[in-house]
A and B are shown apart, each in its own frame.
Chain A
Amino acid sequence: MAAYIFRRLIVLIPLLWAVATITFFLMHAVPGGPFVGEKSMPPVLIQHMEAKYGLDKNLGQQYVTFLDNLLHGDLGISYATQQPVTQVIRHGFPATIQLGITAFIFAIVVGLVLGVLSAVNQNGVFDYISVFIATIGAAIPSFVLALLLVLLLSLHFHWFDVIGWKFGNYKSMTLPVVALGLLPAAYIARITRASMLDVLRQDYIRTARAKGLRPLQIVNRHAMRNALVPVLTVAGPIFAGLITGSFIIEYTFAIPGIGTAFVDAVNLRDYGMIMGTVLLYAFAIAICNMLVDVSYGIVDPRIRY
């Protein structure tokens, strides 16, 4: 297992290099630069700025300089804020990761509970309720759901805050977490239901029942672990998606995360920030996928690396 993890970490290096290279040339290919704006400036000022940041050199030279800096852990500075990119990311990443992890836990718990309830109560009341909730979660876009929740639960009932994020404070966390986590929860619920139904029909489950085991024991000890394998398969990409796709929720609830910084960086052509956030996301997704692969071995003892 340790050797497998080590191999996966080594593979990260060429992966991040490829992502960095593709991103570098793509972002320079997009029209517009960091110093042209809605309010026009004298071209001489733009020339001064480009010279200051080395953007007047040819693309090849800029790429070599970028790679050299990257190898020294320097992602450059944000042209908009004049701050080091690493500093901007360091400020914004905690909120994004808190939101992502909380939404992920919400999605897993709600999804598993709904999925198991549906499966053990197939075609019953709880099955239909679960499917209904899952369909709502899948059908309504997160930003629409966010505003609906705000209108109802914040403005009408005054139960939660409209904006803001304070980790540990349920009033500020609830709506963003629900708005972000409900879609993946719906997805997990459907997969869990299907997987659990399949497992519950297996001979060894029938044997367990025949032995007189209690239903809760059968589900928790025998059925769940096998039903979890498909869920784990999607959990990794879901977690990565929650981290990288949270910018709409961050924007709606004014959460000081890295998601909005990424979107702003693209709109502003802030090359340093674009590279920094893309590499961060690539790293996060790669780690999540690795953790999913490792967890297969934990859940299913037959899988060995």
Chain B
Amino acid sequence: MFATRWKALGLLASVAAILMLAAACSSSSNNKTTTPGNGASATSPAGASATGSTSAPQQGGSITVQALQPQSFDPHFSAFAQDISIDRMVWRGLYRLDKNNKPQPEMAASQPQVSSDSLTYTVKLQSGLKWSDGAPLTAKDFVAGIVRTCAPDTAGQYTSFLFNIVGCEKYSGDTKADAATQQADQAALGVSAPDDTTIVFKLKNPQATFQIQLAMWFTFPVPTQIIKNPATDKWPDDPTKLAFNGPYKIQSYTQKDNLVLVRNDSYHSASSHEAYLDKITEKYIDDTEQADNAFRAGQVDVAIANLANLKAITSDSSTKDAYFHPSQYSSTLGMQFQMKKAPLDKFQVRLALSQAIDRKTLVGLVGGGTYQPATSWIPGALLGIQDDPFESQIGYNPTEAKKNLSDAGYPDGKGFPTLSLEIRNTPANQAVAAFVQNAYKTVLNINITIKAVDSKTRSADYTSRNFELFAPAGWNQDYPDPEDWVAGQFNTGGSQNFTDCSDPQIDSLMAKAAVNLNNDERIAQYKQINELISTKLCGIAPWWSQTVYDWLVNPKIHGMRDNSTSQDSILPSDWNVENWSVSK
């Protein structure tokens, strides 16, 4: 009887549970999912056509996109890609990069006037510009932006990009200087506003890429009506308390959850147009697999594609038409060598290590096969060359690899020391390391050990030169110019030359190219630099080029795929968000 009562209770509980589930089932089938910003006009990913409408973009609508949690809303401090992505949606600089990565007037009225010695840039602003709060946007706000980036209190990771502005490098190092010294150094900065619509920049050396820098986030203006002292005032933690001059403004922000952007009616570009979408909601999802699931469920309209699951994505009816692989590469990765560690100082050893790797097979292991085998350090698009121009010299060739290793004094790998390959500890990198270890054993009969560590430990070893082989490693471009790919990294004693690459020819060419204002000549010089770095394997053996991400994009969204460039951060064409629209 005792047990029977409990059995009865258990049965009752089961029936109640079933009834509750049935109620949940019927109520959920009547309601759409309701997490923030459910795109009213773009939430049916399954089976929709990928081509979209070819008519003019329509005004209105809203979308929800997956993004990564931003760390900071201060563009003068920002370093993470997700921060920079938002920065460019809500603020704009004097110039912007168009689809061909050429600077076009944005807040500026026209191209800059450059002095005959190329050391003074004078930029005229459009008149009548306003911040989103209605305050006038004037030249002093842009001066404040440069001051803030160079200020010692800011200590942003991109400050060095402005070191060619007179006084910036000295001012940024004033961390322990007294207030008077800091004031004096700030006043000596090579940026001024003689009137409300004129900004003058003074440079230390001619710089062909300076106008590109004026499109970057670290030169964005500061709303001085809110940030009175750009050098020392704290940037508000609540981004809704700021003012914006970009296509969108921040309406609300819930930390680690979502950010809502609405169109900024004060945005006035000299070369672009008002944004089409009314609202963009960023939903912060770190787990890429879950982001793709949220896309399938209609909770987000754009998600980063989980490349580990690429086969499922490209065959699933709810995602295959949404899958977008950008065409422009922004990263090159490969194996880095610490060239002061024997035997990596011998060119033939490095050549053998490069020729032992079958890049075509390797890229099948990582990135779902979306990566492009590469033997060029700088992406070919920046130099007008192929991505794999040096295949015959440093590409896969087991016979030549064995011969080169033998010529270096290690026939059949005899006497070759066991080198350490340091990797960031992820499943993908473990697979790459195992591939490389096997390739070196099979082709060259040499052994390498794998040292798998976390990101920070790896970075610390790298900057202290406490490594032998480092992979996959390389560069993700900050701005679309060959200069970004080499400056400081490959010149002898360069501030970021942790591989200790040292070649007099490279040094000479880099010194010339850095101050050469003739674009054809400087590109030719960078082509030579690239060839030297790649074919001499000076610190790096390139393996593959890759894009920043692949995405799932709801086919009802337009303007994302066709405006994607190598400057995409977290979302396709987040450089020119004003081009996004939805079909109704």
| A contact set with B: CB distance below 8 Å | 30-33, 35-46, 48-49, 51-52, 80-83, 87-88, 91-92, 95, 113, 116-117, 120-121, 124-126, 147, 150-151, 154-155, 157-166, 169-172, 209, 214-216, 218-219, 251-254, 256-257, 260-261, 267-269
Q: Determine whether B35 belongs to the interface, using a CB cutoff of 8 Å to chain A.
A: yes
Q: Determine whether B418 belongs to the interface, using a CB cutoff of 8 Å to chain A.
A: no
> Which residues of chain B from 443 to 470 have a CB within 8 Å of any chain A CB?
453-463
Contact, CB under 8 Å: B293 / A162 = yes
- The 17 listed contacts between A and B (C-beta, < 8 Å) are A32-B456, A32-B459, A44-B173, A45-B155, A45-B160, A82-B72, A88-B255, A91-B255, A92-B255, A117-B9, A157-B25, A161-B33, A161-B297, A163-B291, A164-B36, A216-B5, A254-B286
- B173-186: CB near A (< 8 Å → 1, else 0) gives 10110000000000
Contact, CB under 8 Å: B256 / A92 = yes
> In the complex, what's the smallest C-beta–C-beta distance from B29 to chain A, in angstroms?
7
Contact, CB under 8 Å: A121 / B3 = yes
Contact, CB under 8 Å: A254 / B28 = no
Contact, CB under 8 Å: A82 / B257 = no
Q: Determine whether B296 belongs to the interface, using a CB cutoff of 8 Å to chain A.
A: yes
Q: Determine whether B228 belongs to the interface, using a CB cutoff of 8 Å to chain A.
A: no
Partner of A260, one of B172, B256, B455: B256
Contact, CB under 8 Å: B34 / A251 = no
Name the residue of chain B whose CB is nearest to the CB of A124. B3
CA distance A113 to B175 in the complex (A): 63
> In the complex, what's the smallest C-beta–C-beta distance from A229 to chain B, in angstroms?
22
Name the residue of chain A whose CB is nearest to the CB of B475. A39
Contact, CB under 8 Å: B297 / A155 = yes
> In the complex, what's the smallest C-beta–C-beta distance from A114 to chain B, in angstroms?
10
Contact, CB under 8 Å: A41 / B71 = no
Q: Given A36-B459, A48-B155, A124-B7, A256–B290 Cβ distance below 8 Å?
A: no
Question: For B294, what are the chain A residues with a Cβ–Cβ distance below 8 Å?
Answer: 162-163, 254
> Which residues of chain B from 1 to 29 have a CB within 8 Å of any chain A CB?
1-3, 5-7, 9-10, 13, 21, 24-25, 28-29
**Given A38-B455, A52-B175, A256-B284, 17 other A-B residues pairs in contact with their CB atoms under 8 A:** A31-B457, A32-B459, A38-B424, A39-B475, A40-B463, A40-B496, A43-B463, A44-B495, A52-B155, A83-B237, A87-B237, A126-B6, A154-B297, A159-B21, A164-B283, A171-B34, A215-B2
Contact, CB under 8 Å: B24 / A256 = no
Q: Determine whether B476 belongs to the interface, using a CB cutoff of 8 Å to chain A.
A: yes
Contact, CB under 8 Å: A159 / B25 = yes
Contact, CB under 8 Å: B296 / A155 = yes
Contact, CB under 8 Å: B498 / A163 = no
Contact, CB under 8 Å: B175 / A51 = yes
Question: For B80, what are the chain A residues with a Cβ–Cβ distance below 8 Å?
Answer: 80
Question: For A161, what are the chain B residues with a Cβ–Cβ distance below 8 Å?
Answer: 33-35, 297, 299
Name the residue of chain A whose CB is nearest to the CB of B74. A82
Name the residue of chain B whose CB is nearest to the CB of A143. B287
CA distance A37 to B498 in the complex (A): 13
Name the residue of chain A whose CB is nearest to the CB of B159. A45
